Amino acid sequence: MILEELRLINFRLHTNTKLKFSDKINYIVGGNGQGKTSILEAIYYICTSKGLNQNNDSEAVNFNSNSFEIKGVFSDLTKNESRLFYSAENKKKVLYLDEKQVFRISEFIGKFPVVTITQSDHEITAGSPAERRKFVDSVISQASNTYLKTLVDYNKILKNRAALLNQIKETGRKDYIDELDSWNESLINNGTYLLKNRNQFVEEFKLYLDNAYKNILDENEKPGIEYKTLCSSIETEEIKNIFQKKLAEIKKEEIIRGVNLIGPHRDDFIFYINNLEIKKYGSQGQNKTFQVALRFGEFFYLKDKLGKTPVFLMDDVFGELDTQRSERISSFLNKTGQTFITMTDFTRFGELYKSSEDKLIYVKKGEVSYA
Amino acid sequence: MLIAEPLQKVIDELSKLPSIGKKTAQRLALHLLKTDVNDVQKLAEALIELKHKLQFCKVCFNISVEEKCAICSNEKRERSIICVVEDAGDILAIEKTNEYRGLYHVLGGALSPLSGIGSENLKIKELISRFSSEKISEVIIALNPDTEGETTAHYLAGLIKPFGIKVTRIARGLPIGSDIEFADEATIGRAVTGRIDI
């Protein structure tokens, strides 16, 4: 899938920017605060309807305007146009696919797959378990609509169940216990589906992670990933039984504390390099390399699952990597698909692989020019 | 802008209604202002009558003119089956099909601790008490297929089964007359799991 054109109207610094892209690598170059990352953000918006890093939509509106619009033309087997309009006045975001309004965003996710490498990826290896769950959930959700829906339902059940546990804690009413049992059943049904799919995902993803290290990053390091959860089975009945048993064991404690104590929302994923846990023993460089490997893994995983090549967005990725790794990544990108890379440090451009098909785009104060 | 107080009052009251926003409310209010006074009178009376003349059926909590609703007092209905629904509006939907000849029971919602709805806020005790006053052989659960509805279904099934009464749930699947390719994945997935012999 290729993003051919992009148009930004009153989006951050870009009052009216029109861009045409190469279907290989697009280097977006400019100083700090000139509107480079805004271009990546706009691409992310029309692929997912959301901004990067969970920014508030209203922050993306140009200071002299009260709405923004992004339009992108994608070509795959067919040509599709995605258009997003946001009005800060009534805080309304409307998404159009080929000029038809999209009412269910969940059905839109995965249509234009996108993979990003940004500074906030740091949280995936170094941050809390929630960040790792978010990464895994977002990858599986892009590939499976049913997973996304189940996840949304599961979170709704968690909220209800937490409210009920709190009510039991406060009132001490015994008749609420029967209600809790019913919520447990819903929790187990939905949670088992998530757990099973995450187990399957981790098994498959190992291979993609291995390949990313072997082919792109560093063949001397061996990556590993482990899913820490209730049970490692992929048999629905087996997971259900264990889930049920553990839930019964912890019932008293859950009531005393008034919180959901077990389930996929408490799990963690452990990352290893040469059998050592990265979070504890990894260097800065190893962390960064692992984050990049996760994203390359995501890229090829989605490509295989969706049968579509995602758009790859890289925000200032070479800043923290050494010359050798930067070179290897950029020469490999030739084989991936359409990529967008922002760069501040133009002096390092010489290290990177350039082909005649690549495009160099300068951005200055929201205005673009081509080399 | 200052709006004359009687008009503002109508706009405020109308916009309290579901799916009516400020703008629609304003349009309706202005329309009413232009309408003949007799017609407005009729509307006002109809609304008052709605509250005064209608009540909830003592047995099933359906909307009713009498103490017992038209369905509960209809001797021709199958009196051994109860269909449990969330709202009285659901009865209208099921009745339109002409497929169901049994009785109903309106719960008045679904379990949702988050919005403060527990089992005591629903007409569950009333449902259970019907098992001793009536001869019931089957309960059909027809709640919305969302997380709250599903959980409530589990809950009801747990309560009803000890009475030796058959508990069923309406099937979930593809809408009639539609195309499989246009249905969403979750619906198709459930339709496949819930497939039937032919």
Instruction: Identify the CATH assignment for A128-307 out of 3.40.50.1970, 3.90.730.10, 1.20.1050.90, 3.40.50.300.
Output: 1.20.1050.90
Provide the number of structural domains found in chain B: 2
Q: Which of residues 92-151 of B touch A (CB under 8 A)?
A: 111-114, 118-120, 146-148, 150-151
pLDDT at B148 over 90: yes
In a domain, B167, yes or no: yes
pLDDT at B2 over 80: no
In a domain, B62, yes or no: no
In a shared domain, residues B98 and B191: yes
The confidence score (pLDDT) of residue A254 equals 93
Residues paired with B121 in a beta bridge: none
Chain B residues touching residue A159 (CB < 8 angstroms): 114
Residue of chain B nearest A183, judged by CA positions: B151
Say how far residue B108 (Cα) sits from the centre of its chain.
Answer: 7
Q: Which CATH number does the domain housing residue B12 bear? A: 1.10.8.420
In a shared domain, residues B96 and B13: no
pLDDT at B1 over 70: no
In a shared domain, residues B81 and B142: yes
The confidence score (pLDDT) of residue A219 equals 79
The confidence score (pLDDT) of residue A353 equals 66
CB B188 within 8 A of CB B180: yes
Nearest by CB to residue A182, choosing from B120, B158, B185, is: B158
pTM: 0.84
Residue of chain B nearest A106, judged by CA positions: B184
ipTM exceeding 0.85, yes/no: no
Q: Mean pLDDT across the stretch A227-254?
A: 93
In a domain, B59, yes or no: no
Count residue pairs from A and B with Cβ separation < 8 A.
64
pLDDT band at A91; cut points 50, 70, 90: confident
- The distance between the two most distant Cα atoms of chain B, rounded to a whole number of Å, is 67
pLDDT at A145 over 90: no
pLDDT at A355 over 80: no
Q: Which CATH number does A1-113+310-371 carry?
A: 3.40.50.300
Chain A residues touching residue B151 (CB < 8 angstroms): 157, 160, 182-183, 185-186
In a domain, B22, yes or no: yes
The confidence score (pLDDT) of residue B57 equals 94
In a domain, B77, yes or no: yes
pLDDT at B74 over 90: yes
pLDDT tens, position by position, A310-353? 999 999 888 778 888 888 888 888 778 899 999 887 676 676 76
Q: In what order do the strands lie in the sheet with A276-277?
A: A223-228, A268-273, A276-277
Residue of chain A nearest B182, judged by CA positions: A107
Write out the H or E segment, with its range, that includes residue A303.
helix A284-306
In a shared domain, residues B142 and B187: yes
In a shared domain, residues B102 and B193: yes
In a domain, B61, yes or no: no
Whether residue A186 and residue B186 make contact (CB cut-off 8 A), yes or no, is no
CB A204 within 8 A of CB A178: no
Q: Which CATH number does the domain housing residue B165 bear? A: 3.40.1360.10
pLDDT tens, position by position, A219-239? 789 999 999 999 888 899 999
In a domain, B53, yes or no: no
CB A179 within 8 A of CB A256: no
For residue B84, give its domain range. Answer: 69-197
In a shared domain, residues B104 and B183: yes
In a domain, B57, yes or no: no
Residue of chain A nearest B187, judged by CA positions: A146
What is the domain partition of chain A in residue ranges? 1-113+310-371, 128-307
